[in-house]
Amino acid sequence: MDTQPVSNWTWWKHGVIYHIYPLSFKDSNDDGYGDIPGITGKLDYLSDLGIDAIWLSPIFKSPMVDWGYDVSDYRAIDPIFGSMKDFKRLLDESHKRGIRVIIDMIMNHTSDQHPWFVDSRSTIHHPKRDWYIWREAQKGKKPNNWKSVFGGSAWQFDERTGQYYLHTFLKEQPDLNWRNKQVKKAFMRHFKFWLDMGVDGFRLDAVNMIVKDKKFRNNPGLLVSLFQNKKWHTRNQPKSYKILRQLRELLDTYHERVSVGEIYTLPPGDSEMAGSYLDEGNNAIHMAFDFSLLFRQWNARKYHDAIVHWYNNIPPEGWPCNVLSNHDLGRSVKHFGSHKRNNRKARILAMLLLTLKGTPFIYYGEEIGMENAYIHRNEIRDKLGKKFWPIYQGRDKARTPMQWTGDTNAGFTSEKPWLPINRNFHTLNVEAENRDEGSLYNFYRKLIALRKQYAALQQGKWEALIKGENGVLAYAREIEKQRLIVLLNFTPSPKSISIESYNINKVLLSTHRPENAVVDVSDVKLFAYEASLLKELEFME
Ligand code: NOJ
């Protein structure tokens, strides 16, 4: 990657995006569920943190079987979140503060309560029948071996018409048939509706799954699919790319709108797959999530290798984005041991996320170090948790309410919250961290500000200097005359390192060293769990 400025430099390349799970951010009407006016009321907090855009998990009308990822009306706001007027106000107030708004669009499936599906399942002859994927039994059995991502067969028998319909996720989320042109047309109109209203972009749910094999061939067994992702007949079909190019054409008729795709796949091969959607020359989507950082063990070399692998899979004109946690896969500080240690590791991760090349996505609460919560069996709200408990407790642990204060219900609601608040909220909350200059929250704020200040952090070339040896990851970000170095010690012991060919540096931000301290990286001893961002002195302006 180059040391020259990036072409087509635009907000979503240099911005920091903050992912909100609306049910859990802030409850404004005391029904226990977070809502849109709640988010609007917290825009000043977000603005103060320094983020550039918010991505909202779905807010459309929904029976909430999958908490909004089962949509029954793509042009209406679910009353649990408020009204369309509330949404327009959020959009307006965000824009006033220079914050863009990205919404979640679910193209693979609808709710089974969506009028399209109600019509589709009514009779075999209904014009909407072909909008979904219906098949006859094969010799008295399910149409093929396709599995639902959420367990079991992906086929559900429907008594009324004696056929099976496909559902890649829950049975209440029937898959749309994107080979039907009407479906595409209807969706393009939905996109247009929101674009005209002024939303700044879309996170595209499970977007590599929208088209399935025309011949309905069986998927290969688990081993083959684990190592040869491309063999799946339910993912990454050529037609998905074609549809996304058409969507891109539509987005490009508006000013600076963005698309970011969730690419469902299995490791290894996740970076390859995500990268394959980023070929700018081919007018693909703008960004795609690669979840490989999220699945890393706590090991500097593994992080290094994952980063390099990800960058190597980005086409020349493509742009990376980076993410450490989300509402499905858990919080980044999971499994890291005691709270105290989590906090140190959280800083290393924060520095990594905000100094890597690519747009950072912060998951709400990550900036204060929110942890996965233990949810008692009776309080589980995620269908997956209910279905698979105790083997898998579901996704609720990373969806608990935002911890605003140490008061009742963490300042999230005055009623019973829809999910329990993590018990650590008395000490771990925004109010407390805001006050404490040395908190993780303030570390995030400073990092975001530095990312804004230094072009090298936004568009500079990324080069590994220490590739995880001895538990240390070090890299440079460089553009024109600006050279920054990041030093991350992943271990609980001090480490001596030596980076030749770099001159004397000054500290921009560090977990252990005062700002502006001078560091000679040709011979320096890193503190346990040190995370430092340095700037080469010779190139100082
Ligand atoms: C991915 C979403 O992130 C997840 O929460 C949802 O359950 C599935 N897609 C189905 O929409």
pLDDT at 68: 98
Alpha helices in 374-418 (DSSP H): 383-388
Tell me the three state secondary structure of residue 4: coil
152 and 29 in a single domain? The answer is no
For ligand 1, whether the C-beta of 172 sits within 6 Å is no
- Ligand 1 contacts CB of residue 18 (under 6 A): no
Query: What total of structural domains would you count in the chain?
Result: 3
- More confident call, 443 vs 343: 443
pLDDT of amino acid 231: 75
Q: CA-to-CA distance for 252 and 453, rounded, in angstroms?
A: 28
**Ligand 1 centroid distance, CA of 19 (Å):** 14
What would the pLDDT profile of 372-412 be if each residue is shown by its tens digit?
999 999 999 999 999 999 999 999 999 999 999 999 999 99
Q: How far is the C-alpha of 431 from the C-alpha of 424, rounded, in Å?
A: 14
The residue out of 400, 415, 449 marking a domain boundary is 449
Query: Do 151 and 264 reside in the same domain of the chain?
Result: no
Which secondary-structure segment (H or E) carries 11? helix 11-14
Are 284 and 420 part of one and the same domain? yes
Report how far ligand 1's centroid is from the alpha carbon of 151 (Å).
Answer: 14
Is 474 contained in some domain?
A: yes
What distance in angstroms lies between residue 248's CA and the mean position of ligand 1's atoms?
22
What is the rounded distance in angstroms from the CA atom of residue 290 to the CA atom of residue 275?
Answer: 8
Tell me the mean pLDDT in the region 191-208. 98
> What is the structure's pLDDT at 8?
84
Helix runs in 211-269, H state only: 222-227, 238-252
Picking from 449, 481, 496, the residue at the C-terminal end of a domain is 449
Lowest-pLDDT choice from 29-43, 244-258, 330-344: 330-344
How far apart (Å, rounded) are the C-alpha atoms in residues 400 and 337? 20
* Stated pTM of the model: 0.97
- Exposure string over 348-361, b if 16+ CB within 10 A, otherwise e: bbbbbbbbbbbbbb
Q: Please report, in angstroms and rounded to a whole number, the separation of the first and last CA atoms in the chain.
A: 24
Q: Is a pLDDT exceeding 50 seen at residue 1?
A: no
Structure tokens at 247: 């969507």
Residue 288 is assigned to a structural domain of this protein: yes
pLDDT at 337: 56
Q: What is the CATH number of the domain that holds 511?
A: 2.60.40.1180
pLDDT surpasses 50 at 193? yes
Q: Of the candidates 449, 480, 502, which is a domain's last residue?
A: 449
Per DSSP, the residues of 490-518 read -SSS-EEE--TT--EEEEEEESSS-TT-E
Please check whether residue 227 lies inside any domain of the structure: no
* Nearest Cα residue to 167 out of 175, 159, 158, 176: 175
pLDDT for position 481:
86
Task: For residue 78, give the CATH number of its domain.
Answer: 3.20.20.80
Residues 417, 378 share a domain: yes
The Å distance, Cα 361 to ligand 1 centre, comes to: 17
**Residue 81 sits in the same domain as residue 31:** yes
Averaged pLDDT for residues 46-68: 98
Residue 112 scores a pLDDT above 70: yes
Indicate whether 125 and 265 sit together in one domain.
no
Residue type, 268: P
Q: Is residue 390 in a domain?
A: yes
Q: Is 441 helix (H, G, I), strand (E, B) or coil?
A: helix
Residue type, 342: N
Tell the residue nearest (CA) to atom 5 of ligand 1: 328
Residue 220 lies in a domain: no
How many other CB atoms are found less than 10 A from the CB of residue 391?
6
> Domain check: are 288 and 148 in the same one?
no
pLDDT digits (tens, 9 = 90+) for 407-442: 999 999 999 999 999 999 999 999 999 999 999 999
The verdict on 445 and 491 lying in the same domain is no
Is 498 inside a domain boundary? yes
Residue 468 has pLDDT above 50, yes or no: yes
pLDDT of residue 453: 97
**315 close to 275: Cβ distance less than 8 angstroms:** yes
Q: Look at residue 193 and tell me if it is in a domain.
A: no
Per the structure, the complete domain to which residue 374 belongs is given by 11-106+201-209+259-449
The predicted model gives 61-77 an average pLDDT of 98
Query: Given ligand 1 and candidates 169, 382, 396, 399, which is best to mutate, with the most ligand atoms within 8 Å of its CB?
Result: 169
**Encoding tokens for residue 123?**
């009779």
Q: Taking all residues of the chain, what is their mean pLDDT, rounded to a whole number?
A: 94
Would the pLDDT of 541 be above 60?
no
Q: Is residue 428 within 8 Å of 422, Cβ to Cβ?
A: yes
Written as one string, the DSSP assignment of 257-303 is: -EEEEE----SSSHHHHHHTT--GGGT--SEEE--TTTT--S-HHHH
313 touches 275 (CB < 8 A) = yes
Closest CA to 137 of 156, 117, 118, 160: 156
Q: List, edge to edge, every strand of the sheet that includes 134-135.
A: 134-135, 163-166, 155-158
Q: Which two tokens stand for residue 175?
A: 């898959």
Compute the average pLDDT of residues 469-483.
96
What's the confidence (pLDDT) of residue 424? 94
Residues acting as catalytic residues: 205, 262
pLDDT tier at 241 (50, 70, 90 boundaries)?
very high
Rounded distance between C-alpha atoms, residue 9 and residue 2, angstroms = 14
132 and 271 in a single domain? The answer is: no
Ligand 1: which residue has its CA nearest to atom 8?
69
Q: Which residue has the higher pLDDT, 541 or 154?
A: 154
Q: Are residues 377 and 491 in the same domain?
A: no
Tell me the pLDDT band of 338, cut-offs 50, 70 and 90.
Answer: low
Arithmetic mean of pLDDT, 149-161: 96
Residues 223-240: pLDDT tens digits?
A: 766 666 567 899 999 999
Q: What is the mean pLDDT of residues 78-93?
A: 98
- Candidate from 66, 148, 397 with most ligand 1 atoms within 8 A of CB, to mutate: 66
Secondary structure of residue 362 in the 3-state scheme: strand
Q: What is the CATH number of the domain that holds 136?
A: 3.90.400.10
Q: Which atom of ligand 1 is least distant from the CA of 66? A: 7
Q: Crossing angle for the helix pair 339-355 and 440-453, nearest 10 degrees?
A: 10
426 and 303 belong to one structural domain: yes
Q: 162 falls in which pLDDT band (50, 70, 90)?
A: very high
| 456 assigned to some structural domain | no
Task: Based on the fold, state whether residues 151 and 282 are members of the same structural domain.
Answer: no
Cβ-based neighbour number of residue 263 at 10 Å: 25
Q: What is the pLDDT of residues 485-508, one digit of tens each?
A: 999 999 999 999 999 878 799 999
